Amino acid sequence: MPRFSGKANFKELQQLQQRFDRITNNQADEINEELVKTKAALFLRNVIPITPVGVYNTGQVGGTLRRGWTVKSEREAELGSTFGGSTNIQKHVDEDLKPKKRGKDYTVEIVNLVSYASYVNYGHRTRSGGYVNGQFFLEKALSQTDVNASKVLNRKLNTLLRRALDGN
Is the pLDDT confidence value at 60 over 90? no
**Cβ atoms within 10 Å, residue 83:** 8
pLDDT range class, residue 124, cuts 50, 70, 90? very high
pLDDT at 138: 94
**Cβ atoms within 10 Å, residue 21:** 8
pLDDT (average), residues 78-96 = 70
Which stretches of 19-96 are assigned E, i.e. beta strand?
none
pLDDT at 88: 76
pLDDT range class, residue 114, cuts 50, 70, 90? very high
pLDDT at 86: 55
pLDDT at 115: 93
